[in-house]
Structure 1
């Protein structure tokens, strides 16, 4: 059984809820990522995706340099344990129609993120 921890991105970069969406967009671009966990006080409180930003930018009257990440993020993101099997996590992502899931260790802390890109890498390696 292949565990999700074999293909996840370990200890992903994150952003705080009081940052602007513009800050998040720039950070994603610099890091070459499409998802950022939103952290407050060392705990995950949400996730922000490139899709969330594109949706917001599509609303012409909104200036993303004035909108806070905490108002745009998806609260209570889907989270899996790092010892879950790859197939079940991919099935969950398909079922929920999501591009990523956060991965937590046995201690309950964020240990990684698993995205559709990681899923494609796993497929290519099989």
Structure 2
């Protein structure tokens, strides 16, 4: 991708977030309503982690407690992969593929705890498809 397309062109802007003190049941409900699979996790409005649909599925399969009793903070990934909105799609997608990340949280580079968006593997594929279409 020689054009150096920024992730801001493909990210979901101002995505839903979930507080780390809420439960997996709350997270499942929020994901269902929004139709997504990744939730940035916040505490006092600041990014502290990420929770994926897969994280919830694994937790529910190994923890014999109802999802209404499991806190998001116990299941989330505490140090999510982040990038700024001007990061190049190519570099971000390469990093996501190398480490098997399903998404990256796009943050304000001057305030890295502030969530601006989410860039997912689906977004990366959309960017690739548009690039291939443009090349004919």
TM-score of the alignment, normalized to the shorter chain, above 0.5 = yes
Deviation at 1:60, TM superposition (A): 5.9
CA displacement 1:32-81 (0-9 Å, x = unmatched): 00000001112100000000001012126231111000111100111111
What is residue 42 of structure 1 aligned with on the other side?
Answer: 45
Q: Report the number of matched residues.
A: 126
Within 5 Å, which residues of 2 pair with 1:1-126?
A: 1-59=4-62, 61-108=64-111, 109-126=114-131
Instruction: Quote the Cα distance in structure 2 between the aligned partners of 1:87 and 1:2.
Output: 8
Structure 1: runs of 5 or more not aligned? none
Contact 1:56 1:62 in 2 (8 A): no
Greater helix share, 1 or 2?
2
Tell me the TM-score normalised to structure 2 length: 0.88
Q: What runs of 5+ residues in structure 2 fail to find an aligned partner?
A: 132-136
Residues 68-106 of structure 1: per-residue CA shift (max 9 Å, x gap): 001111001111111110000000001111100001123
Name which one, 1 or 2, has greater alpha-carbon Rg: 2
